[in-house]
Structure 1
């Protein structure tokens, strides 16, 4: 939305400005507390690289780890779950979050490649696993791996609902503090897909 708004402003200025005058630079707002950047009108709507904020970097680094645990949990379902709906949801989670990890890793590679040219060393923030909401503990993962049948189904749903709710918290926080358009798009995808999956998991009735 931010880039679209800027593009509309540029189009309006171009229509009102004589062709002989040079168009003024466009101001691109950043995250809270961050200094805005300027962009040439010709760069609006292009893939011109803009340095992401700390919130974007932290979100991507954390969500990759968060998603990997969801993959670890969902990979247990084919052999241990009894309920077919649980198996289907686990498969959906695996098929959705695997490509999302790939997209976030690609974004990190692009950041590392572009950052040095913009005065950033390309380093990424350290991730504190315990600080991420919804993450299952080592003890909970061990219990899930040891369970089977209906016991597995119940524990899987309880842990995965909490895991998804934690991901929603992280995504909503990013949308209020991030500045990178691509990261915001990925966070919106998390909100859409995992909100739907939470509703599906809560609707499952087990004996």
Structure 2
């Protein structure tokens, strides 16, 4: 009996070890590389410059706005989106994916007249840069609403097509935060 038991134990151990060391490549350990798909990479690659433009717009506000509520909103946008940019840059690095998919002069991906949802053209940005006071506030709110609507659309695409749990969680946070900010901005426009 003892010999049969020993043989059974050796056979079981051999089968378990054999399953772990087959001639196929070893199963990868869970990693950032294995958790993402092309939609996740596209989401990060596009949302980074999208957020960067929102930060550029937010940084215009303190020197041009006449409305403390607009100044406060711009400050909140700056505080929220800057860490999200760093988070997405970290994902792209961990995934071994280039940070940009369309490099353009000036440091901004797809800057100028382009088709990324919600992005302002160079002409829009120059016009905004030249405005002051209530004229600036109205233009800024209208542009930021469009910008946020674009980000929400991009985030919804990530939720529908992405695979990475972290990227999908960020997409949901973007949807929740930016839809609330859109409602706030629409309210500010009505007051103005």
Which residue, out of 60, 65, 88, partners 1:76? Answer: 60
Provide the residue aligned with 2:34 in structure 1: 50
1:77-119 residue CA offsets vs partner (Å, 9 max, x unmatched): 001000111111011101100111011111111112xxxxxxx
| TM-score, with structure 2 as normaliser | 0.76
Tell me, in whole angstroms, the C-alpha distance in 2 between the residues paired with 1:136 and 1:107: 26
Structure with greater proportional helix content: 2
Describe how 1:169-184 pairs up with structure 2 within 5 A: 169-184=153-168
Is 2:161 the partner of 1:186? no
Could you tell me whether the CA contact under 8 Å between 2:64 and 2:136 is conserved in 1?
Answer: yes
1:5-59 residue CA offsets vs partner (Å, 9 max, x unmatched): xxxxxxxxxxxxxxx997xx9xxxxxxxxxxxxx79xx7xx65741521111111
Q: If you compute each CA radius of gyration, which structure gives the higher value, 1 or 2?
A: 2
Name the Cα RMSD after superposition.
Answer: 2.5
Tell me, in whole angstroms, the C-alpha distance in 1 between the residues paired with 2:149 and 2:84: 17
Structure 1: 5+ residue stretches without partners? 1-19, 26-38, 113-121
**How many angstroms does 1:187 deviate by?**
0.7
Could you tell me whether the CA contact under 8 Å between 1:58 and 1:124 is conserved in 2?
Answer: no
Matched residues, number: 162
Q: 1:165 to 1:172 in 2, by over 3 A?
A: same
Could you tell me whether the CA contact under 8 Å between 2:92 and 2:98 is conserved in 1?
Answer: no
Describe how 1:96-135 pairs up with structure 2 within 5 A: 96-112=80-96, 122-123=97-98, 126-127=101-102, 129=110, 130-135=114-119
Q: 1:49 to 1:78 in 2, by over 3 A?
A: same
Secondary structure at 1:70's aligned position in 2? helix
Tell me, in whole angstroms, the C-alpha distance in 2 between the residues paired with 1:149 and 1:125: 35
Describe how 1:4-83 pairs up with structure 2 within 5 A: 49-83=33-67
**How many angstroms does 1:131 deviate by?**
2.2
Is 2:144 the partner of 1:160? yes
Could you tell me whether the CA contact under 8 Å between 1:53 and 1:178 is conserved in 2?
Answer: yes
Could you tell me whether the CA contact under 8 Å between 2:64 and 2:131 is conserved in 1?
Answer: yes
